[in-house]
Amino acid sequence: MTTKLPVLITGGGGYIGSHAVLALLDAGWPVVVLDDESNSTGVLVPRDVPYIKGSIADRPLVASLLRDHGIGAILHFAGSMLVAESVTDPLKYYRNNTAATLILLEEAVAAGIPHIVFSSTAAIYGAPDRLPIEEGDPKLPINPYGVSKWMTEQMLADAARVHDFNYAALRYFNVAGADPDLRAGQIGKTSTHIVKIATEAALGKRPHVDVFGTDYPTPDGSCVRDYIHVSDLAAAHVAALEKLIERPHENLLLNCGYGKGLSVTQVLDALDVVVQRKVPRVIGPRRPGDPPQLVASNRALVETLDWTPAHADIHQIISDALAWERKLADGILT
Ligand code: UFG
């Protein structure tokens, strides 16, 4: 059995990164977290994990921590991730996602890091007209967020051709829920995601849920997305890392979803079932930039990795998110 060298987790204090920290620790991997706390506080990272507050764009810091901690792989989550904000402040996305990753990647290459797992997104596909989306389908992002992530994937692909590393680009669909043991969950400074907003409304933190459009060309008129439990996604990262190590000459491009589309209305109906009452909804206009439907083909994910989803049910996603929201409301983390 090979030695498990420490894994650097950029953005390990954030929502998805903190779940990946837990999944790696559970699988016996030593981890080191680098996080600039732009959308987190470090509170979700277990106390015994080496934690560095800083930016992936801080070249000397990255170079020294790769060396000093003997890092053997990088899971790269750090970045900005709000679609709407990327439209109003595009350069922030090219700076925080593309340009900052260039620095991290240059330092990783210089340090001889052999494996990189990158947080990509379904947003690279834009508004596809064919579902489910296959990894080889056209990359036609419709917002700067998606472009910034697609540019990063291209940097990784070009660099991996000539430098000695392999990589996985995990293209997330709609990530939701919380660690079933409530060790982590979503605590971002701004809530924009539907499951988070819905659970806040269920607990009375907001008066209702806005439904952004019911006139889409979908079965019930609201947008369709492929929701994946954050703990299943975290497990996919561990499996991807282990596959990169097992197959050092292959890269992995994998959609991460369940391959099942749910409309906004279906998600809110599931919330009503979980809380056993009707949480108020207000039907409103479309939100600019929302594609009508995004559903993954996850055939490659399932066939390539040793990964079976353990939480593939929207009711469980919602009830875990709700339990986490209750924990936040109790002030346990503040
Ligand atoms: N929605 C509402 N009301 C809300 C919030 C969202 O109706 O208050 C709707 C949106 O219009 C959309 C759906 O719920 O139709 C999902 O919206 P989210 O904001 O939860 O998620 P997005 O699909 O916009 O984006 C997320 C990630 C992106 C990723 C994308 C891939 O934020 O990074 O999933 O599917 F690219």
- 227-262: pLDDT as tens digits: 999 999 999 999 999 999 999 999 999 999 999 999
Residues in the chain, how many? 334
- The per-residue pLDDT for range 26-81, each reduced to its tens digit, is 999 999 999 999 988 899 999 999 999 999 999 999 999 999 999 999 999 999 99
Model pLDDT, residue 248: 97
Q: Indicate whether 142 belongs to any domain.
A: yes
User: Do 211 and 95 share a structural domain?
Assistant: no
pLDDT of residue 164: 98
Task: Please state the rounded mean pLDDT for residues 314-322.
Answer: 98
In a domain, 289, yes or no: yes
Ligand 1 site, CB within 6 A = 81, 83, 121-123, 173-174, 192-194, 197, 209-212, 223, 225, 264, 287, 290, 294
Give the pLDDT confidence of 202-228 residue by residue, as tens digits: 999 999 999 999 999 999 999 999 999
Amino acid at site 275: V
Residues annotated catalytic, as ranges: 145
Q: Is residue 320 included in any domain, yes or no?
A: yes
Q: Give yes or no: residues 127 and 218 share one domain.
A: no
Dist. CA 303–CA 246, nearest whole Å: 15
Q: Is the pLDDT of residue 201 over 80?
A: yes
Measured over all CA atoms, what is the biggest interatomic distance in the chain, rounded to whole angstroms? 57
Give 330: exposed, middle or buried? Use CB within 10 Å, 0-12, 13-18, 19+: exposed
Distance 307 CA to ligand 1 centre (A): 25
Side-chain-side CA neighbours of residue 180 (13 Å): 12
How many beta carbons lie within 10 A of that of residue 219, not counting itself? Answer: 12
One domain, residues 264 and 152: no
pLDDT of residue 308: 95
Give mean pLDDT, residues 277-281. 98
Pair 200, 289 in one domain = yes
CATH of the domain at 301: 3.90.25.10
Same domain for 116 and 212?
no
Do 282 and 218 belong to one domain? Answer: yes
Q: Which atom from ligand 1 is nearest to the alpha carbon of 226?
A: 35
Count how many Cα atoms sit within 13 Å of the Cα of residue 37 in the half-sphere of its side chain. Answer: 9
pLDDT, tens only, 175-199 = 999 999 999 999 877 788 999 999 9
Region of residue 204 (left: phi > 0; alpha: psi -120 to 50; beta: else): left
Tell me, what CATH number does 25's domain have? 3.40.50.720
**Closest-lying ligand 1 atom to the alpha carbon of residue 289:** 24
Whether 1 maps to a domain, the answer reads: no
Do 34 and 115 sit in the same domain of this protein? yes
Domain that holds residue 289: 194-224+259-306+309-329
Q: Looking at the structure, tell me whether residues 300 and 277 fall in a common domain.
A: yes
Evaluate whether residue 248 is within a structural domain. Answer: yes
Indicate whether 101 and 219 sit together in one domain. no
Q: Examine the domain organization and report whether 31 and 157 are in the same domain.
A: yes
Q: Give residue 1's pLDDT.
A: 56
Tell me, in angstroms, the distance from the centre of ligand 1 to residue 287's CA: 9
* Within a domain: 74: yes
**Does 181 map to a domain?**
no
Is residue 107 located within the same domain as residue 238? yes
The DSSP-derived string for 69-132 is: TT--EEEE--S---HHHHHHSHHHHIIIIIIHHHHHHHHHHHHT--EEEEEEEGGGG-S-SSSS
Instruction: Please choose from 16, 153, 205, 212 the residue to mutate so as to test ligand 1's pocket, defined by most ligand atoms within 8 A of CB.
Output: 212
Q: Is residue 185 part of a domain?
A: no
Number of folded domains that form the chain: 2
The answer to whether residues 276 and 148 belong to one domain is no
Which of helix, strand or coil describes residue 273? helix
Residue in 264, 282, 295 to alter for ligand 1 test, most ligand atoms within 8 A of Cβ:
264
What angle separates helix 144-162 from helix 100-111, to the nearest 10 degrees? 20
CA of 127 to the centre of ligand 1 (A): 13
In the reported structure, the alpha carbon of residue 193 is separated from the centroid of ligand 1 by a whole-number distance in angstroms of 5
